[in-house]
Amino acid sequence: MKGLVQFLVAKIILLALASSFVYCYDPNPLQDYTVLPPTKLMEFMFVLAVFVNGKFCKDPKLVTANDFYYSGLNIPGNTNNRLGASITNVDVSLIPGLNTLGVAIARLDFAPGGQLSPHIHPRASQIILVLKGELSVGFVSSNEYNYTLFSKVLYPGDVLVFPIGLVQFHANNNKKTNAVAISAYGSQNPGVIPVGNAVFGSNPLIDPKLLAKAFALDVNIVRHVQRVFSSDADIVN
């Protein structure tokens, strides 16, 4: 019995050590591709073992072109929400062949006056290309560079880069036409943290008195903003 416990403890320590570098960053590909098996199989394997290099791989002999393929970014996202915008993400959850390759793409749609509110992509830098309309975009540096705002108004054909981890926003200032952009990311799963949702729409809510002090706001305004964010629809498709 004691031997078994020691064995299990040793195994857990070994797994912890082995996974420390697996989880810290998008790893570089270790081979040409490591396509995900169907979700059900993956769940089954997850029970049996740990993730290695992101996800489990499909047998390379069984990989087909469809494992690298997605169709549908020609379809506009639904912008019928409070912010008048939508993100259609095409990441590793939709293209299994993206696994470990460190890229993903998304379509951004904006109704007239719509915006993607200040947010952070925790795992990737981003580069956007405007296809239609005009977008007022920007990002803010960290305290180290004095919270400097870098902003531009982009038109079709214009490209802007957003460094990883900085607060950024995209807004369609045009009140008459919609806007469309394509966004590429340096991660198979860039993630998104809308600042408002994280701060004012958490589950459970952060103490409104704490937020009132943090943001120099009246506590009733904080409660109002919390109600708005708590009932906001998710704009990521």
Least Cβ distance, residue 146 to ligand NAG (angstroms): 4
Which C-beta is closer to ligand NAG: that of 1 or that of 149?
149
DSSP conformation class of 90: E
Q: How far apart are CA 41 and CA 39, in angstroms?
A: 5
Mapped onto helix, strand or coil, the DSSP state of residue 218 is coil
Name the residue with the smallest CB distance to ligand NAG: 146
Q: How far apart are CA 183 and CA 32, in angstroms?
A: 24
Mapped onto helix, strand or coil, the DSSP state of residue 56 is coil
Q: Does 145 bind ligand NAG (CB under 6 A)?
A: yes
Among 28, 31, 146, 231, binds ligand NAG (CB under 6 A): 146
**Angstrom distances, CA of residue 142 to CA of 136, 182, 192:** 20, 25, 18
Least Cβ distance, residue 144 to ligand NAG (angstroms): 7
- Residue 119 is assigned to a ligand binding site: yes
Least Cβ distance, residue 150 to ligand NAG (angstroms): 12
- Residue 170 is assigned to a ligand binding site: no
Least Cβ distance, residue 123 to ligand NAG (angstroms): 25
**Angstrom distances, CA of residue 10 to CA of 1, 3, 6:** 14, 10, 6
Binding residues for oxalate: 121
Binding site for ligand NAG (CB under 6 A): 145-146
